[in-house]
Structure 1
Amino acid sequence: MPDIEKIIAGFNAGRDPERLAMKYKAMRGSPFVFLRGTCHLFYERLPREKVLDDAPPVWICGDMHLENFGSYKADNRLIYFDNNDFDEACLAPALYELVRLLTSVLVGAADLKLSRAQAFALCHTAVDAYGAALVFGKARWIEAETSVGMVRDLFDALASRTRAAHLDRRTVLKGKTRVLKVDGKKALPVSDAQRSAVTQFMQRFAAGEPNPEFYRILDVGRRIAGTGSLGVDRYVILVEGKGSPDGNFLIDLKEALPSSVGPHLHTPQPKWQTEAQRVVEVQRRNQAVSQAFLRAVDFNQRSYVLRSLQPSEDRVALSDWNGKLPRLEEVVNSMAELSAWAHLRSGGRQTSSIADDLIAFGNRRDWQLPLIEIATRCEAQVQVDWKAYCEAYDRGAFELAGKV
């Protein structure tokens, strides 16, 4: 078995075969989707350069790319735009975060129909915005009133969407009761054993909450979402919420696995009680306001993250840049700023860098161009790996792996 097959199949071993097959098929679609689905491979291939390892240590999300930003309803019931995936979160040199974002710009250029020059312009936008946000030294955030361009378009679209409309996209009404749409696109059916286990878990969880009836389960499905995490044990749970049929809530329950970045770091990591505690704690530190219902929980004697369901549609439609590069520059500028603000916000926690160190780093001018050069090499490696993957996939290697 060639190297690429061993690495990818080994990393995904034990995942739900049905959703894993979806992941493998999606990764065949383009180098950008492949990059999103192989965070572990990216860090395994990442060049060990001094400029990367000498950057100040910060709390990173670990899987930074163009599609890992979106809107969410926070625990204060307001909507924010921010990084929204912390499965791979860890303590790492700051430029590990940024080099993956730049690589995603270069790899994603073909999908977005960007010229090479335009893609590099966006990379320069990102490093300049990140550095400037660090120099400013104060963490900010993005909400409707402070958003611009395509991010503002997203907020405007969300402002006109009712809870009933949101539920209608994921559920169907049977009389006055909603059930999940189990259509193989957003959700798959659960077994009787899975339904029973999730129901019992939610009953135990609800017993410790102020309003247990809020969490009364109406339906459960295996959730289909993301690329990298497809196949990880994950459920969408429809609960009573504020009352049926239009006050129901959707909750996401997802197993937390070890960060795939960690094995490739020299930075000492703190000891976490569980992987879910790591994910939830870093998300709480990095986001201005935490996502609704965000908790680390135990389910089936394993570690899971419980949170409100965040629709994959609640992301900026990057393809709508309409040939106007400033529209994409505004989005990338926002993403880079959000990364810097997260690093500032979480600074000084468990040996992460304090604001003074990050401000000093932002003022330096010796890392920007080398970082873009490293991202260019990463992009070339992604292209090589994707071609090798396609050859293996086309001869059926990953079809067999998905059935293990």
Structure 2
Amino acid sequence: MLDVADEIARFNAGRDPERLVMKYARMRTSPFVFLRGTCHLFYKRLPRGTVLDPSPRAWICGDMHLENFGSYKGDNRLIYFDINDFDEACLAPCLYEMIRLLSSLLVAADDLKLSRAEALALCYTATGSYAAALRFGKARWIEEETAEGMVGELFAALHQRSRADHLNRRTELKGKKRTLRVDGKKALPITDEARARIVAFMDGFAKHEPNPQFYEIIDVARRIAGTGSLGVDRYVILVEGKGSPDGNYLLDMKLALPSATAPNVGTRQPKWNSEAERVVEVQRRDQAVSQAFLHAVEFERRPYVLRGLQPSEDRVALANWNGKLPRLEPVVRNMAELVAWAHFRSSGRQTSAIADDLIAFGEDSKWQLQLIDLATQCEAQVVSDWKAYCEAFDRGAFNLNAKA
């Protein structure tokens, strides 16, 4: 029998204790936050020999849930709403992506104040929309002009924010000089030695870029973001960009670890030059347009993903559905469509299914009810594991200060 506390502690071993304490505390707050922080456990718990395994193979982000969608600026400088986290990306039967999305819908119901019937209705919306997008047979994207409901509201809100607004939330402005706001909520301080190493690295990186001055470092800190990756080596870097103070840019640089999903999907994975290459390559394949400044880099002989910093404010505020299910339905439909479109963009790559196989799968309706039924089983397992985690947490099993 799996010891939940032991499995979680083992998986997170070696992470930065200061940020790991934050992760453990967040996971105690609700089953949905726990789900986000334990992707490895979710896939390890999946029953074998289910409707998932015969589905066509696809390149998946590997950690699909309601919070893994958001807006970002692409490398063409336009704004997109798409899947945005590929840390666990791997090749897998395509329904491994959808089972986690549906499970997250059911697990998040309490946090979102959804009734059981409403949560299940959204699962039907998701499976139906995913199948319809597969039958359509072509990758599309969500455009600002046609975005509906809460996604449309997100695009509208982005237009009301300037680059200076974005910088002001993360930095302190003194005259014409900005420094990162190290508040213990979004960022933590960094040692002078670590700062010097990152400056040296970025100087070397910039030499191979068209505009080296753009990457001149102004400030750097340890970044606090996400749930699953909290404790992983990660930095927020303030660079000169297009000029101080309001033309500065924020970059995110995060250590790329092996996919926590890949060992549990039963699919042979290709050999990558580095884990960062895996993350970046799958992201480039799956997204409509790649995120700005996306690079796989090597820092101190370890693989990191460098990209533009994506603020948490650029996600849809699902809690603002105001008790009106028609406000949530278009968002969930978009999420499911984005999953299908990502499959098409990456189809036929390194043994993933071709478009014809995906279309045929969308035309077969037998798997849809089975998938929802399996999601209810996964939901029950997540809640059970969360309760076991809470018991261990409350008795001090994750008190890193006491252990130290």
Show the 5 A alignment for 1:90-129.
90-129=90-129
Q: Distance in 1 between matches of 2:215 and 2:85?
A: 24
State the shift of 1:53 in Å. 0.5
- Is structure 2 residue 59 aligned with structure 1 residue 59? yes
Contact 1:20 1:402 in 2 (8 A): no
Q: Distance in 2 between matches of 1:286 and 1:376?
A: 27
State the one-letter code of the partner of 1:230: L
Q: Distance in 1 between matches of 2:388 and 2:2?
A: 9
C-alpha distance after superposition, 1:53-82 (max 9, x if no partner): 000000000000000000000000000000
State the one-letter code of the partner of 1:244: S
Any idea what SS the aligned residue of 2:362 has?
Answer: helix
Unaligned 5+ runs, structure 2: none
State the one-letter code of the partner of 1:280: V
Contact 1:17 1:402 in 2 (8 A): no
Any idea what SS the aligned residue of 1:52 has?
Answer: coil
Q: Distance in 1 between matches of 2:150 and 2:287?
A: 20
State the shift of 1:14 in Å. 0.3
C-alpha distance after superposition, 1:207-265 (max 9, x if no partner): 11111110000000100000000000000000000000000000000000000011112
Any idea what SS the aligned residue of 1:225 has?
Answer: coil
Contact 1:106 1:119 in 2 (8 A): yes
Aligned to 1:318: 318
Q: Distance in 2 between matches of 1:213 and 1:403?
A: 45
Percent of paired sites with the same residue: 73
Aligned to 2:148: 148
State the one-letter code of the partner of 1:164: A
- Give runs of ≥4 in structure 1 deviating > 2 Å: 400-404
State the one-letter code of the partner of 2:92: A
- Is structure 2 residue 309 aligned with structure 1 residue 309? yes
- Is structure 2 residue 145 aligned with structure 1 residue 158? no
Unaligned 5+ runs, structure 1: none
State the one-letter code of the partner of 1:360: A
Q: Distance in 2 between matches of 1:249 and 1:342?
A: 28
Any idea what SS the aligned residue of 2:150 has?
Answer: helix
State the one-letter code of the partner of 1:21: V
State the shift of 1:93 in Å. 0.3
Contact 2:65 2:101 in 1 (8 A): yes
Show the 5 A alignment for 1:36-47.
36-47=36-47
Show the 5 A alignment for 1:5-404.
5-400=5-400
CA RMSD of aligned residues (A): 1.2
C-alpha distance after superposition, 1:353-379 (max 9, x if no partner): 111000000000110000001100000
State the shift of 1:310 in Å. 0.1
State the shift of 1:402 in Å. 9.0
Any idea what SS the aligned residue of 1:53 has?
Answer: coil
State the shift of 1:201 in Å. 0.7
Q: Distance in 1 between matches of 2:311 and 2:145?
A: 22
How many positions carry a matched residue from both structures? 404
Contact 2:21 2:400 in 1 (8 A): no
Q: Distance in 2 between matches of 1:221 and 1:209?
A: 23
Q: Distance in 2 between matches of 1:43 and 1:2?
A: 13
Contact 1:21 1:402 in 2 (8 A): no
Q: Distance in 2 between matches of 1:160 and 1:320?
A: 19
Contact 1:126 1:336 in 2 (8 A): yes
C-alpha distance after superposition, 1:92-126 (max 9, x if no partner): 00000000000000000000000000000000000
Q: Distance in 2 between matches of 1:60 and 1:155?
A: 25
State the one-letter code of the partner of 1:347: S
State the one-letter code of the partner of 2:270: P
C-alpha distance after superposition, 1:134-175 (max 9, x if no partner): 000010011311210000000000011111111000001122
Q: Distance in 1 between matches of 2:403 and 2:78?
A: 42
Query: Per the alignment, do residues 294 and 129 of structure 1 end up closer, same or farther by CA in structure 2, a change over 3 Å counting?
Result: same
Instruction: Compute the TM-score of the two structures, normalised by the length of structure 1.
Output: 0.99
State the one-letter code of the partner of 1:367: W
Any idea what SS the aligned residue of 2:312 has?
Answer: coil
Aligned to 2:4: 4
Any idea what SS the aligned residue of 1:313 has?
Answer: helix
State the shift of 1:49 in Å. 2.9
Contact 2:17 2:400 in 1 (8 A): no
Q: Distance in 1 between matches of 2:120 and 2:60?
A: 23
Contact 1:18 1:402 in 2 (8 A): no
State the one-letter code of the partner of 2:156: D
State the one-letter code of the partner of 1:260: A
